[in-house]
Each structure stands twice: as structure tokens, then as C-alpha cells.
Amino acid sequence: MTQSEPAARTYQVTIGEEAGDRLDLVVARHGELSRTQAATLIANGTVQVGGRREKASYRVESGDVIDVTIPPPPGRDIVPEQIPLNIVFEDEHLLVVDKAAGMVVHPAPGNWTGTLVNALMGRGEPLAEGGGEDRAGLVHRLDKDTSGLLVVAKTDASHRVLSTALAARQVTRRYVAVCWGHLTGDTLTVDQPLARDPRDRTRMAIVQTGKAARTDFTRLARFDSVDLLRAHLHSGRTHQIRIHLSSVGHPVIGDDTYGGGGGRKLAALPPRRHFLHAAWLRFVHPVSGEVVDLRSPLPPDLRHSLAVLSEMPELESNQDPLDVFGFYHTTDAQPRERDSSSDS
């Protein structure tokens, strides 16, 4: 990717159930911004309601179409960096990274360097530009302290196809999580909308006016103080699995933000690490139509934690202990190979 000026981010909102809300609240909610940031955009004229400027206090009406442009941060070039990455799949159209815990995915205030995007740009390979330079082909994201599989598009065409498939729930993403306590049954579905926490903009929360979010959980094993779970995302909201488990009283162990940070020594987890790993990714290749099926075994820190929590020390030397617990054995619907004969 050639280095250029960072791109502005744009989005559009059509008002329905939010009719009567203040304009600054709507802009903040949909742009994952603070209310102050939203008010600044409105004052600077980069928010238009039906093509006209309104004040932050404007009460939106049903049918209003709001166009928002978020300018890039001034004077911040995204710098390519030589950072090793674990690439588990790559061709001329896309690549899949097995991201390590502790790596931020894209540059943002406080993390302008050392991110996955910096590392991707440092490889010197082409990357899709549709999402803006600070997104460098990213199709979806992972939290800083969540490890595992993540798709990156190399071309704008692949980015469009993969993003559409993701929105249509045609990309299967399954995570392994360990939560404190025990679910009431072997399966659980949490279907609760998420948005920025109105009381703390650094966190997400269940907010009834937020974006729809559903996670299916399957208990794979029950240990003394924790459950081993497979989590299947039907949407991909920020911190979704972590919030959904916390909302039912069983936060992810090691999750300092959403109530699971206690007992780290018992769980044998290193500092600032939670037990959440994107272990299984399956999607239809945007060009060949073939199914790409990738698995990421537990990294050493989580493998050690699982061995301790399960009191099964032999797991630590197992190449993929998830298979021991049937993580990959499921009858859930999976993406199928596209029939090229039906293509026009």
C-alpha cells in the first residue's frame, strides 16, 4: 500500500425508533464517539441532516437521514513497521492472521504504533483501501487482549465481498472462552443490543437502543470453578462475548473491564490477559468460491491456564487441547462452497 493521507470515516443514519433523541446523542451512538466528539463534529459542519446543518440539541425526526464525516486525526501518518506476524493463510486476494494477545488491531489515540495495521503495512504487500488507511484491509477486528484468527483483504473487491458475507452472517467465527461459575444449562443464547456505555465511553454495555448482538454459547466442560465454552458470534460488536457473559453473571476469566479480573492466580493467567481466543474461522473465498476453514490452537498461556483449571496437566503438551473437548464437533450450519456454475 502506498502511504497517503489518512481517509475520513463516513457513515449514514436513517432515523426510526430514535425519533425525539438529540442529534449529538445519535451521532455519538452510531459512530462510537463521546458526546463531546459528536458535538464538535456538528459544530464544525461535518454532520448534515437531510443536507442541512443543525445544532447538537436538534431533536431528530422519523425519516431524517443523517450524514456524518469524521475527519482523520491531523498530522498522523500511519507508519509501516517491521513487526513479525503469524500468517496462516495468504494468496493474492486476502490473508488471515493469527493475532497475538496484547496487539492492538488498528491505530488510534494512545496506540499510533505497534498495531496490526502498522505491521501489515510493513510487509509491503497490497492491501484493500476501502476501509481507509488506518484499517488497511481489515474485514473485522479483535480486542487487544483477545488472540486468534482475523481476516484481511488485499483488494477492494475482496473487501466488499467479505464484508457483505460478514454482515449476512456467512462468515463463521467461533471463540473459546472460559467463564467464572457455571451456566444453568449446556447451551445459552444471549440476544442483547450493545452500544457505548453512556456513563463510561471506554466501555461497551447492553443498551436497548444499541446495535443488535447475538451470541450462542455451548458448554464443552464444567470444572471446579469455571466453564469451558464455545461461543458462536451472529454479529460482531465490540466486546460482544465479554459483555454478554458478564450480563448473565459469568464474566470471562481475566477480564478486568467486565468483572472477571479476580482470581487471576487461580486461573494461572498472566497480567492483562483474559481467556478468550478466536479459534475457528470458516468462510467462502471471495474469488475462488472454495471454503476456507482455519483453526488456531490455544496459545501457550491459555493452554497452561486450561491445564491448571481442568486439573489435567497433560493438556499443556497437547497440540490442540480444544479437540479433546469437542470444540470442532458441531452440527451448526456452516458456509458451503459456492457453485461456480451458477455465477453469471
Which run of H or of E encompasses 77?
none
Predicted pLDDT of residue 4: 47
Residue 256 to residues 216, 230, 246, 252, 259, Cα–Cα distance (Å): 23, 21, 11, 9, 6
Which run of H or of E encompasses 162?
helix 156-167
Q: Which residue has the cell 517491521?
A: 82
Domains 9-70 and 87-167 share a fold: no
**CATH architecture entry for 87-167:** 2-Layer Sandwich (3.30)
Tell me which residue of 187, 139, 184, 186 sits closest to 292, measured CA to CA.
139
Cα(224)–Cα(181) distance, rounded to whole angstroms? 8
Cα(173)–Cα(166) distance, rounded to whole angstroms? 10
Please identify which of the residues 24, 64, 98, 143 carries the catalytic annotation.
Answer: 143
Tell me which residue of 122, 113, 112 sits closest to 85, measured CA to CA.
122
pLDDT lower than 50: segments of the chain:
1-4, 340-344
Q: Which CATH class is domain 9-70?
A: alpha beta
Residues 109-123 have pLDDT tens digits of: 667 789 999 999 999
What pTM value is reported for the model?
0.78
Q: Give the three-state DSSP class for 276.
A: strand
Query: Is residue 227 annotated as a catalytic residue, yes or no?
Result: no
Cα(100)–Cα(149) distance, rounded to whole angstroms? 9
Predicted pLDDT of residue 342: 40
Which run of H or of E encompasses 240?
helix 240-247
Domain boundaries, the chain: 9-70, 87-167, 172-282+291-325
Domain range 172-282+291-325, its CATH number among 3.90.950.10, 3.30.390.50, 3.90.1330.10, 3.30.2350.10: 3.30.2350.10
Predicted pLDDT of residue 88: 98
Residues 130-149 have pLDDT tens digits of: 656 567 899 999 999 999 99
Predicted pLDDT of residue 278: 98
What is the pLDDT of the chain when averaged over all its residues? 89
